[in-house]
Homo-oligomer: A and B are copies of this chain.
Amino acid sequence: MRTAEFDTEFVLRQAMHAFMQYGYAKTSMQKLKEVTHLHPGSIYAAYGNKKGLFLAATEQYQKDRNQQFTALFNDQQPILLTLKHYLTVIVDECIEGEVAKVCLLTKSISEVEGNDPQICSVLRGNLNAYENTLAEQLQKALDNNEFTTTKTPQQLARFLVMGIYGIRTYALTNQDSKALQQLADDLFVALIN
């Protein structure tokens, strides 16, 4: 006889950003309480516990990413051109991105591996889906004769995500935007050759 008051998307995005910045373990319920403007009771009523909130935030993250991805790749430009642009978007995120300097999925799976198999398998699923989405785009590019290759779309997609994960990790060691952009360019060339 009463409806929940808080804005789910706001809460999940705030939580998502905290988890991205501090990691899973170091994001305390205290912090989550603050950024979501929710009291512990409400959080536990809505998401069960910290893990539940994290998984919900992960889902929101995946949704937001998919939307961004679809928006980019649904223009009518050649796929490869969009892909090249997509890589620069990632590079920019790695540098400025006050809000999303890292990928929540890879950061979390790296931290949680060896601690929580359940969270791991959810994250693995999301990352595999991401890889498949890229494979689809590469397949389309091949169908359009945008480039030729001896490799399968799966193999290409795997190489591409490896490169993206690598760039993201490299950015933690070196914040030079020219170096990162160079990496993105080299990766793109390696992909289509």
Q: Name A's B-contacting residues (CB within 8 A).
A: 21-23, 25-26, 101-102, 106-107, 109-111, 113-115, 123-124, 127-128, 131, 151, 155, 158-159, 161-170, 172-174, 179, 182-183, 186-187, 190, 193
Known A128-B174, A173-B124; judge A162-B190 contact (CB<8 A): no
Chain copies in complex: 2
Interface centre among A107, A166, A186, by most chain B C-beta atoms within 10 angstroms, is A166
A108: min CB distance to chain B, Å: 10
Set of chain B residues within 8 Å of A107, measured between Cβ atoms = 110-111
Check A115 against B163 for contact (C-beta < 8 Å).
no
- Of B115, B166, B190, B193, which is within 8 A of A165 by CB? B166
A158 to B59, CA, bound (A): 33
A183 to B159, CA, bound (A): 6
Find out whether the CB atom of A22 lies under 8 angstroms from the CB atom of B115. Answer: yes
A95 to B57, CA, bound (A): 29
**Complex CA–CA separation, A166 to B109 (angstroms):** 14
Inter-chain pairs besides A106-B169, A161-B170, A169-B169, 10 sampled, C-beta below 8 Å:
A25-B26, A109-B173, A110-B111, A110-B172, A111-B111, A124-B172, A124-B173, A158-B182, A162-B167, A168-B169
